[in-house]
Structure formats: C-alpha cells, structure tokens
Amino acid sequence: MTDNNARIYVVAVGLDDSASSWKAFGEALQFASVKKAELHIVSIQETADASYSASEVLATDKTSREKLEKAQNKASIMAEEAGITATTEIVAGSSTAAMVDYVKTHDIDLLVIGDTGHSSIWGALLGTNAEKIVRHAKCSVMVVR
C-alpha cells in the first residue's frame, strides 16, 4: 500500500563555488538520487564588513552574486541531467545564521556542506562555520571532506 500523503525527503547543499562545496554538491546529488529527494542548492552571499567603502561593497556584492549565480546554474544543470528536481537560492547574510535559518524555514531533512569554504574579503572560512552550523541546524548535517 502506498501512502499518497508521504512527504518527500528534502536535501539542501551549501554551494559557494569552492572545491569543498563542489564535493558536498556531488554527495548531495548522489544522496538525493538514491532517496528520490528534492534538492535545494543554497548559496550565501555574505554581507560585507561595514568598514568597506560603498563602491567596494557594491563591487564585491556584484562579483560574488555573479559567481554564485554561475555556480548555481552549473549545479542546476548537473542536477537536471541526473533527473533531480532542484531549487536554487542565493541568500544574503551571515553564512552560519543564513544557512541555519534556511534549513529551518524550508523544512530540510539533511544539509550537506563542505568542511572548508572559499577565502574571501570577508575573511570567512566555512571550517569554523561548519562547526556552528552542525551545532545550530535543526536537521541532520553531513560535512564532506
């Protein structure tokens, strides 16, 4: 007997275009395929430090958003080719808080993240953020090395 009201398993992956995040994407894609899950490809556009000038902030925001959009487009095509339904979203904010909020808001069952992320002008490394996300996310978290 099939339950027509069965909830679809939802996997999210953090993608910042670093090598580590692409490894995480590969794992998330494979997991979503096996579980026949919906896949959310989430990129966090970190807010720039207040000490930067307005032109530096605008240039950084444009560059990072374009980079994230390009990575998400590539990942979306890869998911489609694998027969996976994928949703892409770029969220502005602190990488840790924004990701924790995203998984809570979208009722994510599993979050897949890389153990280290890009090094950027914000000085953010996902390594320390990964630990915070694991502690605060209300879902299971897979950290890919």
Contact 112, 24 (CB under 8 A): yes
Return the exposure string of 73-99: e unless at least 16 CB atoms fall within 10 Å of the residue's CB, then b: eebbebbeeeebebebebbeebbbebb
The pLDDT of residue 121:
33
Q: Single out the residue of 79, 104, 101 nearest to residue 92, CA to CA.
A: 101
Which class would CATH give 10-144? alpha beta
- The answer, yes or no, to whether residue 18 has pLDDT greater than 80, is yes
The pLDDT of residue 48:
60
What tokens does 91 get? 């969220």
The pLDDT of residue 61:
56
